[in-house]
Chains A and B, each alone.
Chain A
Amino acid sequence: MRNPAAPSLAAPASAAGGARRAPRRLDPRHLPLVVTIALFLLMFGAGSVAFDGFFSLQVFLNLFVDNAFLAITAIGMTFVIVSGGIDLSVGSVIALTTMVSAALVEQHGWSPAVVIPLVLCLGAVFGFTMGVVIQYFEIQAFIVTLAGMFLARGLCYLISINSITISDPFYTHVSMLRIPFLFDTSISFNVVIALVVLAAAVYLAHYTRFGRTVYAIGGSEQSALLMGLPVPRTKVLIYTLSGFCSALAGVVFTFYMLSGYGLHAGGMEMDAISATVIGGTLLTGGSGNVVGTMFGVLIYGTIQTLIMFQGELSSWWTKIVMGLLLLLFCLLQKAFERRSARA
Chain B
Amino acid sequence: MNAGAGRPAEGGVAAAAQAMRAFTRRRIFWPLATLVLLLLFNLISNPHFFSITIRDGHLYGSLVDILNRAAPLMIISMGLTLVIATHGIDVSVGAVVAISAAVAATLIGGQLVISGGMQDVSRYPLPLVILAALAVAALCGMWNGLLVSYVGMQPIIATLILMVTGRGVAQLITSGQIITIYYSPFYFVGNGWVLGLPFSFFLVGAVLAAVLVLARRTALGLFIEAVGVNPVASRFAGVRARSITFWVYALCGFCAGIAGLIVSSNVKSADGNNAGLLFELDAILAVVLGGTSLAGGRFSVVGSLVGALVIQALTTTIYAAGVPPEVTLVVKALVVFAVSILQSDRVRNRLGALVGNEEVAR
Known contacts: A147-B337, A151-B333, A334-B153. The answer to whether A138 contacts B345 by CB under 8 A is yes
Known contacts: A316-B168, A334-B151. The answer to whether A158 contacts B340 by CB under 8 A is no
Question: B168 contacts which of A137, A158, A317 (Cβ < 8 Å)?
Answer: A317
Name the distance in Å between B282's Cβ and chain A's nearest Cβ. Answer: 10
A139 touches B341 (CB 8 A): yes
B161 touches A326 (CB 8 A): yes
Question: A137 contacts which of B172, B295, B341 (Cβ < 8 Å)?
Answer: B341
A146 touches B294 (CB 8 A): no
A273 at the interface (CB under 8 A from B): yes
Give the bracket for the number of chain A residues in contact with chain B: 35 or more
B336 touches A158 (CB 8 A): no
B337 touches A133 (CB 8 A): yes
Of the listed stretches B99-107, B259-267, B323-331, name the one at the interface; the rest are far from the partner chain: B323-331
For A142, what are the chain B residues with a Cβ–Cβ distance below 8 Å? 89, 156
The proximity string for B residues 134-151 relative to A, scoring 1 for CB distances below 8 Å and 0 otherwise, is: 000000000000010001
In the complex, chain B residues 63-108 whose Cβ is within 8 Å of any chain A Cβ = 89, 91
A154 touches B160 (CB 8 A): no
Name the distance in Å between B309's Cβ and chain A's nearest Cβ. Answer: 20
A235 at the interface (CB under 8 A from B): no
Question: B294 contacts which of A140, A267, A322, A324 (Cβ < 8 Å)?
Answer: A140
Task: Report the bound CA distance from A224 to B165 in whole Å.
Answer: 37
B330 touches A158 (CB 8 A): yes
Name the distance in Å between A86's Cβ and chain B's nearest Cβ. Answer: 7
For B295, what are the chain A residues with a Cβ–Cβ distance below 8 Å? 140
Known contacts: A150-B281, A157-B329, A316-B171. The answer to whether A283 contacts B154 by CB under 8 A is yes
B169 at the interface (CB under 8 A from A): yes
Can you name the residue of chain A whose Cβ is closest to the Cβ of B295?
A: A140
Task: Report the bound CA distance from A204 to B301 in whole Å.
Answer: 47
Known contacts: A273-B157, A283-B157. The answer to whether A319 contacts B341 by CB under 8 A is no
Can you name the residue of chain B whose Cβ is closest to the Cβ of A313?
A: B172
B284 at the interface (CB under 8 A from A): yes
Name the distance in Å between B24's Cβ and chain A's nearest Cβ. Answer: 23
Known contacts: A270-B161, A326-B161, A334-B152. The answer to whether A150 contacts B169 by CB under 8 A is no
B169 touches A269 (CB 8 A): no
For B160, what are the chain A residues with a Cβ–Cβ distance below 8 Å? 88, 269-270, 273
In the complex, chain A residues 280-329 whose Cβ is within 8 Å of any chain B Cβ = 283, 314, 316-317, 319-320, 322-324, 326-327
For B326, what are the chain A residues with a Cβ–Cβ distance below 8 Å? 154, 157-158, 161
B340 touches A150 (CB 8 A): no
Task: Report the bound CA distance from A154 to B328 in whole Å.
Answer: 8
* Interface core residue of A88, A137, A270 (most chain B CB under 10 Å): A137
Task: Report the bound CA distance from A267 to B153 in whole Å.
Answer: 20
A interface: dominant SS: helix
A153 at the interface (CB under 8 A from B): yes
Name the distance in Å between A206's Cβ and chain B's nearest Cβ. Answer: 26
A61 at the interface (CB under 8 A from B): no
For A334, what are the chain B residues with a Cβ–Cβ distance below 8 Å? 151-153
Known contacts: A157-B326, A269-B160. The answer to whether A150 contacts B336 by CB under 8 A is yes
Name the distance in Å between B317's Cβ and chain A's nearest Cβ. Answer: 17
Task: Report the bound CA distance from A79 to B332 in whole Å.
Answer: 29
Task: Report the bound CA distance from A322 to B160 in whole Å.
Answer: 12
A207 at the interface (CB under 8 A from B): no
The proximity string for A residues 323-343 relative to B, scoring 1 for CB distances below 8 Å and 0 otherwise, is: 110110011001000000000
Task: Report the bound CA distance from A316 to B169 in whole Å.
Answer: 8
For A154, what are the chain B residues with a Cβ–Cβ distance below 8 Å? 326-333
Name the distance in Å between A145's Cβ and chain B's nearest Cβ. Answer: 10
Question: A270 contacts which of B164, B336, B345 (Cβ < 8 Å)?
Answer: B164
A147 touches B154 (CB 8 A): no
A138 touches B340 (CB 8 A): no
In the complex, chain B residues 28-54 whose Cβ is within 8 Å of any chain A Cβ = none
Question: A146 contacts which of B153, B169, B284 (Cβ < 8 Å)?
Answer: B284
Question: A327 contacts which of B161, B168, B169, B334 (Cβ < 8 Å)?
Answer: B161
For B328, what are the chain A residues with a Cβ–Cβ distance below 8 Å? 154
B176 at the interface (CB under 8 A from A): yes
Question: B332 contacts which of A136, A150, A157, A269 (Cβ < 8 Å)?
Answer: A150
For A314, what are the chain B residues with a Cβ–Cβ distance below 8 Å? 171-172, 176
For A143, what are the chain B residues with a Cβ–Cβ distance below 8 Å? 89, 284, 294, 336, 340
For A326, what are the chain B residues with a Cβ–Cβ distance below 8 Å? 157, 161
For B278, what are the chain A residues with a Cβ–Cβ distance below 8 Å? 150
Can you name the residue of chain A whose Cβ is closest to the Cβ of B334?
A: A151
Task: Report the bound CA distance from A118 to B131 in whole Å.
Answer: 53
The proximity string for B residues 319-362 relative to A, scoring 1 for CB distances below 8 Å and 0 otherwise, is: 00000101111111110110011011111000000000000000
Known contacts: A151-B333, A273-B157, A314-B171. The answer to whether A136 contacts B346 by CB under 8 A is yes
B305 at the interface (CB under 8 A from A): no
For B336, what are the chain A residues with a Cβ–Cβ distance below 8 Å? 143, 146-147, 150
In the complex, chain A residues 71-85 whose Cβ is within 8 Å of any chain B Cβ = none
Task: Report the bound CA distance from A146 to B278 in whole Å.
Answer: 11
Name the distance in Å between A179's Cβ and chain B's nearest Cβ. Answer: 33
B163 at the interface (CB under 8 A from A): yes
21 residue pairs A–B, Cβ–Cβ below 8 Å? A137-B340, A138-B344, A146-B91, A148-B333, A150-B278, A153-B329, A154-B329, A155-B330, A157-B326, A157-B329, A158-B324, A158-B330, A267-B164, A267-B167, A269-B160, A270-B161, A283-B153, A283-B157, A320-B172, A323-B162, A330-B151
3 residue pairs, one from A and one from B, having the closest CB atoms = A154-B329, A323-B165, A151-B333
9 extra interface residue pairs, beta carbon distance < 8 Å, beyond A137-B340, A143-B284, A267-B167: A139-B344, A146-B91, A148-B333, A151-B330, A314-B171, A319-B164, A326-B161, A327-B147, A330-B151
